[in-house]
């Protein structure tokens, strides 16, 4: 059985970006993560230890996004996707992470800038 855990609007202050002022002053980023996993054991036993704890997922994503600044949202999104698979272990079948940069340095009015990456566990 496949279950879906969805975490939306996770805010973190980071220093990612290609411009020096982004690195120096930082800005807010917003992370969405969707994880498809087999949580059958967790639902059968009502045991949080048998599933991906969304609080632990939020902590891990925030801690990772706060350190080691990168130039590109693509790089950060890939890194956060790896965190999901590492934290979720073998139960994670596939995942999707979106990183939003609501204050991107664009000289035009805009609603959102984001990068989304998807992945699935490879067998073997």
Domain CATH for 112? 3.30.1130.10
In terms of residue numbers, what domain contains 38?
Answer: 3-120
pTM value > 0.85 = yes
pLDDT of residue 123: 59
Strand segments (E) across the chain: 3-14, 27-37, 92-100, 114-120
Report the pLDDT value the prediction gives residue 1, as an integer from 0 to 100: 85
**How many folded domains does the chain comprise?**
1
Binned average pLDDT, 10 residues per bin, the chain of 124 residues: 95 97 97 95 89 95 97 98 94 96 96 97 67
Residues marked active site are found at 101
Q: What integer pLDDT is reported at residue 122 of this predicted model?
A: 76
82: closest CA among 11, 33, 37? Answer: 33
Distance CA 117, CA 81 (A): 7
Q: What's residue 124's pLDDT?
A: 46
Q: In what order do the strands lie in the sheet with 3-14?
A: 3-14, 27-37, 92-100, 114-120
């Amino acid at each position: 059985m496949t279950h879906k855990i969805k975490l939306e609007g996770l805010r973190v202050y980071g220093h990612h970006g290609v411009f020096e002022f982004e690195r120096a002053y930082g800005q807010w980023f917003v992370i969405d993560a969707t994880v498809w996993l087999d949580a059958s054991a967790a639902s059968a036993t009502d045991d949080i230890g048998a599933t991906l704890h969304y609080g632990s997922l939020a902590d891990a994503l925030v801690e990772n996004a706060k350190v080691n600044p990168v130039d590109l949202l693509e790089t950060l999104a890939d890194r956060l996707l790896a965190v999901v698979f590492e934290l979720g272990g073998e139960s994670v079948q596939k995942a999707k992470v979106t990183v939003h940069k609501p204050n991107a340095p664009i000289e035009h009015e805009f609603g959102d800038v984001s990068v989304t990456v998807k992945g699935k566990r490879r067998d073997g």
